[in-house]
């Protein structure tokens, strides 16, 4: 190598071969001449024109539908206002219909149920006291028998057991 430097690069040859073949065809004029090219261009122009026509038609249809939209929105707003006024008026009617006199039987019944519940809890407490007393007496009578299981009560109902004698 005498002063001239050569650059080397590895590239795939298949794309280059394809380009060479195309170039040979263009040089030979084997593409069919200018008639085929003009025919292809005319087909492309026709397809383009069809697309433009279809776009224009769909654009017009969209404009027509969009022009209907404000009227329909106004109808919707009016109907929503009617629904809201109907709901408001029905709410006011219901509020005025429920009076203290109308609710009095319900309040009386609830008061009665609360009283009965208090009586039942008092009876249960007295029954538990009696059972505790019976349990203590049975333990005095039979000290060698096994202890009877006791039922655990909630903290508010437990009573302190007296010391064993």
Average pLDDT over residues 25-42: 71
pLDDT value at residue 91: 73
Domain limits, the chain: 13-97, 99-139
Average pLDDT over residues 124-146: 78
Residue 14 to residues 17, 18, 20, 30: CA-CA distances in angstroms? Answer: 5, 6, 10, 21
- Asked whether the predicted pLDDT for residue 1 surpasses 50, the reply is no
Of the candidates 38, 22, 39, which has an alpha carbon nearest to the alpha carbon of residue 30? Answer: 22
- Asked whether the predicted pLDDT for residue 86 surpasses 80, the reply is yes
- Print the SS3 string covering 72-115: HHHHHHHHHHHHHHHHHHHHHHHHHHCCHHHHHHHHHHHHHHHH
Tokens of 60: 């017009």
pLDDT value at residue 78: 93
- Band of residue 148 on the pLDDT scale cut at 50, 70, 90: low
- Asked whether the predicted pLDDT for residue 158 surpasses 60, the reply is no
- Asked whether the predicted pLDDT for residue 105 surpasses 80, the reply is yes
Per-state percent for the chain, helix, strand, coil, to nearest 5: 75, 0, 25
pLDDT value at residue 93: 65
Q: What does the mean pLDDT of the chain come to?
A: 78
Is residue 159 within 8 A of residue 129, CB to CB? The reply is yes
Residue 2 and residue 73: Cα distance in Å, rounded? 86
Residue 86 and residue 90: Cα distance in Å, rounded? 6
Average pLDDT over residues 31-46: 76
- Helix, strand or coil, per DSSP, at residue 135: helix
Average pLDDT over residues 82-87: 90
- Asked whether the predicted pLDDT for residue 74 surpasses 80, the reply is yes
């Amino acid at each position: 190598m005498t002063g001239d430097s050569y650059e080397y690069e590895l590239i795939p040859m298949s794309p280059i071969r394809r380009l060479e073949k195309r170039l040979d065809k263009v040089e030979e004029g084997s593409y069919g001449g200018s008639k085929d090219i003009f025919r292809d261009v005319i087909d492309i122009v026709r397809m383009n024109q069809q697309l433009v026509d279809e776009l224009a038609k769909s654009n017009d249809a969209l404009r027509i539908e969009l022009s209907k939209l404000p009227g329909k929105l106004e109808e919707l707003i009016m109907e929503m206002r009617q629904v809201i006024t109907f709901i408001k008026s029905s709410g006011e009617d219901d509020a005025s219909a429920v009076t203290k006199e109308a609710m009095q039987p319900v309040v009386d019944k609830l008061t009665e149920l609360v009283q009965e519940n208090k009586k039942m809890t008092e009876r249960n407490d007295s029954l538990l006291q009696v059972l505790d007393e019976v349990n203590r007496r049975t333990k005095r009578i039979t000290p060698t028998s096994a202890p009877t299981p006791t039922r655990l009560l909630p903290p508010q109902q437990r009573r302190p057991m007296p010391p064993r004698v």
